[in-house]
Amino acid sequence: MKLTFLGTGTSTGVPSIGCDCETCLSDDPKDKRLRVSVLIEHAGKKILVDTSIDFRQQALRAGIKKLDAILITHCHVDHVFGLDDIRPLNFRYGAMGVYANEIAWKDLRRIFSYIFNPTHLGGGLPQLIPHTVGNNSPFAFGKDIEITPLEVIHGKLPVIAYRFNDFAYATDLKTIPQASLDGLRDLDTLVLDCVRLKPHTTHLCLEEALAYIDELKPKRAFLTHLNHDIMYERESKLLPENVELAYDGLVVEG
């Protein structure tokens, strides 16, 4: 399985507008973070997790020419406002399967009402095939990928983490219910939310993220959804041997 981190930043991205902190002024490309998203490639399939608000830029940079499906973690601006930019892929390959839970679909249909209830002629619309996922209800994608949606809690909002065989992607969370913890064991690779160093009301901070990693014991872990409190070279020194900070463009195979 091949993972490409398309974006690893928090909702404002890094650098943040108007900020002159050390990270935002850094010359290190690993401190430049578009909004969070990841591309999974396995057994001839390409699956995107979240159409970030920066999706067009990410797709061009990564050379994405086709997607087989899109999985949505939750309906916040930074994770879904790039949805309209799937249109060029629709032009070439037709409608695309999009997977989300019922809560996210309710908001997606409201925010993108022009897609689901078009009221005018002219202009291309994204072509979607909606699929509703259920917590801890695995489904097969192709012959060699089993996807398990696992509910995590982002403040009070249920968000979907996704497990793909022995890889899992869990962003935008503060707590992981026990049933989902059990579903995140025996992993080769875990990608986990870590917004900043100090505690946050709706996201994991570094200490909390490392505590979950210590409990789940994946072979390796990558931290994502990083804000400008986290500087790549400086904070990398704080991490255990099997944990790394993700950065835009990082490719992981395994």
Residue 124 lies in a domain: yes
DSSP letters, 22-87, are: TTTT---GGG-BPBPEEEEEETTEEEEE---TTHHHHHHHHT----SEEE-S---HHHHTTGGGGH
Amino acid (1-letter code) at residue 237: K
Residue 252 located in a structural domain: no
Predicted local distance difference test score (pLDDT) of residue 230 = 98
- Tell me, yes or no, whether 254 lies in a domain: no
The pTM of this model reads 0.96
**Tell me, what's the pLDDT at 124?**
86
Q: Is residue 81 part of a domain?
A: yes
- pLDDT tens for the chain, residues 1 to 254: 999 999 999 999 999 999 999 999 999 999 999 999 999 999 999 999 999 999 999 999 999 999 999 999 999 999 999 999 999 999 999 999 999 999 999 999 999 999 999 887 666 899 999 999 999 999 999 889 999 999 999 999 999 999 999 999 999 999 999 999 999 999 999 999 999 999 999 999 999 999 999 999 999 999 999 999 999 999 999 999 999 999 999 999 98
In a domain, 253, yes or no: no
Is residue 10 domain-resident? yes
pLDDT for the residue numbered 108: 98
Query: Would 249 be classed as within a structural domain?
Result: no
**Residue recorded with tokens 């041997």:** 241
CATH number of the domain within which 75 lies: 3.60.15.10
Q: What is the largest CA-CA distance in the chain?
A: 56
The domain total for the chain is 1
CB atoms within 10 A of CB 116: 14
Token pair for 31:
């401190």
- Counting Cα atoms < 13 Å in the Cβ hemisphere of 165 gives 15
**What pLDDT was estimated at residue 25?**
98
Domain range for 235 is 2-244
pLDDT at residue number 61: 97
Q: What is the pLDDT of residue 192?
A: 98
In the prediction, which pLDDT does 121 show? 64
250 within a domain of the structure (yes/no): no
CA-CA distance, 124 to 146, in Å (whole number)? 33
